[in-house]
Amino acid sequence: MNRKFPLDEDALRRLASILEDTGLTEIEVEAGDHRIRVAKTPAAVHAAPLASAASAQTTAEVGPATPAAAESGSAVTSPMVGTAYLASEPGAKPFVQPGDTVAEGQTLLIIEAMKVMNALPAPRAGRVSQILVQDGQPVEFGEPLLVLE
């Protein structure tokens, strides 16, 4: 059954507009036998397999997001909507803790989005001064996750 998919350009533009207006990274619509998915690919996101995505509390210091951290440009923000995990699996050692020195590209945490585990790499070398989210916490696009000095 090779039926041609009727592409409605206006509908596609409306879906893309919804992505921009809501800060979502992707949206999918299904009608009958047809399905369309519109997605923005955030930069520097890599998949990382995990044994389990269940939430577990860790001993990392967690503090409220400070406006100064977000404004100073030292905050590492979420590239997508999802659930933040500080370790590779429940009970495992966190990827980073406050006071740790990290190299550019080192995994800082994982964000689960649509059952895909996305490692968040350090955008630059530095020292983790504060972790702003808890393990298993839902996060929004652009939300500050931790502060690098």
pLDDT, one tens digit per residue, over 91-130 is 899 999 999 999 999 999 999 998 889 999 999 999 999 9
Query: d(Cα 2, Cα 59) in Å, to the nearest integer?
Result: 55
Please classify residue 99 by burial: count the beta carbons closer than 10 Å to its beta carbon, then call 0-12 exposed, 13-18 middle and 19+ buried.
exposed
Q: How far apart are CA 96 and CA 98, in angstroms?
A: 7
Q: Are 78 and 65 in contact (CB under 8 A)?
A: no
* Burial label, 71 (beta-carbon count in 10 A; 0-12, 13-18, 19+): exposed
Q: What is the CATH number of domain 46-148?
A: 2.40.50.100
Domain with CATH 2.40.50.100 in the chain: 46-148
pTM for this structure? 0.54
Residue 146 confidence (pLDDT) above 90? yes
pLDDT of residue 4: 61
Position of tokens 């577990």?
56
Task: Provide the residue type at 111 as one letter.
Answer: I
pLDDT digits (tens, 9 = 90+) for 27-67: 777 777 777 777 775 544 444 444 333 333 333 334 444 44
